[in-house]
């Protein structure tokens, strides 16, 4: 396990170092002068290792200084991504200027492209901090009559920890309450995988579970991949005390609707996953809703008679150019409502963010589902 973690960290750090090296070469060439000094070189060297160091420290400490370091490193990582795109643009525009004999000054090319990169980064921060309400209507065969017209709120990927914390959780809960859904689904990655005050972060959910106007049928949760960084005894008891109901690889009857939930780690092996579903004894003649963190095993879910799968995990790539990668990897299940045979799958962009608190070409969302 440790050897695999070491290899993973080494690969990530190598990629970050090469990216920062290219960024420095661009800055030094286009601005010259002070940009070539040893202090700038040292700054880029430190910045290249900042996120890995912050992550390693953040796994073990919730100290305010550690949280600030993690936040600063995550924000820089986002800006570095856009500055890397700006660097590529610099060289392309410069080459065009030389070939076409336009005589554009390298410094002015860099000024414009890097300013655009910074502007996109600031937009991404603002965009990621403000979850939108996505309203959809889903028709399910054999839905119990009492469920027609009812609504469910779906949230996932809040990634509470060093960047998103209790204030963000409270805002999300208040937005959900204002929608007055009959039931609430939390589809994994509620936490970020770093050290956290779980008792404190669970408190806002009490305002929802004790509400007389929203979530009268309950708040249901399954774990995502980021919860695998913890032991269950660390984060689950505070959630249970806050009134959240955990679907522990099981089916529950909720006023005539079959509601199933499988934790992310238990869906990794297709055969084990299929055996978990079959142990639930789902009735194919009745509507069923499955909470599964990632939009995976869709063919198995269709074969086992699931009506609707609700997932998150993809983030839609979160920001360009990773949005293109996510579309390539996840295809039609990257975001939104899609179908596989008789199975309907809704994949949420997620409500929070991981790493850089930025979103460009995707948005954070709370999904309000109306059943018909």
Model confidence pLDDT, tens digit, residues 246-280:
999 999 999 999 999 999 999 988 999 999 999 99
Residues 63 and 181 in one domain: no
- Which residue, 1, 16, 137, is CA-closest to 74? 16
Q: Which residues contact 92 (CB under 8 A, 6 or more apart)?
A: none
CATH number for the domain that contains residue 352: 3.60.21.10
Residues 154 and 196 in one domain: yes
Residue-wise pLDDT for 42-73, tens only, equals 999 999 999 999 999 999 999 999 999 999 99
Residues 123 and 145 in one domain: no
Residues 74 and 146 in one domain: no
Residues 83 and 142 in one domain: no
Distance CA 295, CA 156 (A): 12
Residues 136 and 94 in one domain: no
DSSP classification of residue 362:
S
- Cα of 159 vs its chain's centroid, Å: 7
Residues 197 and 334 in one domain: yes
For residue 1, is pLDDT > 60? Answer: no
Phi-psi region of 230 (alpha: psi -120 to 50; beta: other; left: phi over 0): beta
> Which of 104, 127, 150 is the C-terminal boundary of a domain?
127
Distance CA 366, CA 232 (A): 26
Residue-wise pLDDT for 66-79, tens only, equals 999 999 999 999 99
Helix axes 2-31, 64-100, angle to 10 degrees: 50
Residues 140 and 48 in one domain: no
Helix axes 106-128, 64-100, angle to 10 degrees: 140
Residues 37 and 139 in one domain: no
Mean of the pLDDT values across residues 156-172?
Answer: 97
Mean of the pLDDT values across residues 3-29?
Answer: 92
Residues 210 and 315 in one domain: yes
> Which of 103, 127, 151 is the C-terminal boundary of a domain?
127
Distance CA 93, CA 281 (A): 62
- pLDDT score of 7: 87
Residue-wise pLDDT for 18-51, tens only, equals 999 999 999 999 999 888 999 999 999 999 999 9
- pLDDT score of 4: 78
For residue 8, is pLDDT > 90? Answer: no
Position 6 confidence tier, pLDDT thresholds 50, 70, 90 = confident
Based on the structure, what is the number of domains in the chain?
2
Show the DSSP H helices in the chain as ranges.
Answer: 2-31, 38-58, 64-100, 106-128, 166-179, 198-202, 206-209, 232-241, 270-279, 298-303, 322-330
- pLDDT score of 268: 87
Residues 122 and 138 in one domain: no
Residues 109 and 165 in one domain: no
Position 2 confidence tier, pLDDT thresholds 50, 70, 90 = low
> Which of 96, 127, 158 is the C-terminal boundary of a domain?
127
Tokens of 118: 């910074």
- Beta-sheet pairing, 257-262 with 336-340: unpaired
Q: Which residues contact 224 (CB under 8 A, 6 or more apart)?
A: 156, 157, 187, 188, 189, 190, 264, 293, 294, 312, 313
Tokens of 24: 């420095």
**How would you list the strands of the sheet with 132-138, edge to edge?**
132-138, 365-371, 151-155, 183-187, 219-222, 245-246
The range of the structural domain enclosing residue 94 comes to: 2-127
Residue-wise pLDDT for 198-227, tens only, equals 999 999 999 999 998 999 999 999 999 999
Residue-wise pLDDT for 316-334, tens only, equals 999 999 999 999 999 999 9
């Amino acid at each position: 396990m440790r050897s695999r973690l070491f290899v993973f960290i080494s690969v990530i750090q190598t990629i970050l170092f090469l990216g920062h090296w290219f960024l420095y070469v661009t800055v030094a060439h286009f601005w010259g002068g002070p940009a070539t000094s040893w202090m700038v070189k040292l700054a880029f060297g430190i910045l290249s290792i900042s996120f890995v160091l912050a992550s390693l420290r953040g796994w073990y400490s919730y100290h305010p200084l550690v949280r600030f370091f993690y936040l600063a490193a995550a924000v820089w990582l986002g800006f570095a991504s856009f500055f890397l795109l700006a660097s590529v643009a610099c060289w392309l525009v410069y080459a065009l200027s030389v070939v076409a004999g336009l005589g554009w000054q390298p410094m002015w090319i860099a000024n414009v492209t890097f300013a655009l990169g910074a502007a996109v980064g600031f937009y991404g921060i603002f965009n990621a901090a403000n979850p939108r309400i996505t309203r959809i209507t889903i028709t399910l065969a054999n839905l119990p009559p009492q469920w027609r017209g009812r609504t469910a709120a779906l949230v996932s990927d809040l990634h509470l920890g060093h960047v998103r914390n209790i204030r963000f959780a409270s805002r999300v809960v208040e937005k959900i309450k204002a929608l007055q859904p009959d039931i609430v689904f939390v589809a994994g990655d509620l936490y970020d995988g770093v050290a956290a005050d779980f008792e404190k972060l669970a408190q806002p959910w009490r305002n929802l579970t004790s509400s007389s106007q929203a979530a009268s049928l309950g708040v249901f949760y399954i774990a995502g991949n980021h919860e695998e960084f913890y032991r269950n005894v660390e984060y689950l008891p505070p959630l249970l005390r806050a009134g959240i109901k955990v679907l522990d690889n099981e089916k529950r009857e909720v006023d005539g609707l079959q509601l199933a939930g499988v934790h992310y780690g238990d869906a990794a092996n297709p055969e084990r996953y299929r055996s978990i579903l079959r142990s639930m004894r789902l009735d194919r003649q009745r509507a069923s809703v499955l909470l599964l963190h990632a939009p995976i095993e869709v063919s198995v879910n269709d074969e086992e008679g699931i009506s609707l799968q609700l997932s998150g995990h993809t983030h839609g790539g979160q920001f360009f150019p990773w949005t293109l990668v996510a579309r390539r990897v996840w295809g039609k299940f990257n975001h939104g409502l899609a179908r596989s045979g008789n199975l309907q799958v809704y994949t949420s962009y997620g409500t929070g963010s991981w790493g850089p608190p930025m979103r460009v070409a995707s948005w954070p969302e709370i999904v309000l589902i109306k059943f018909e």
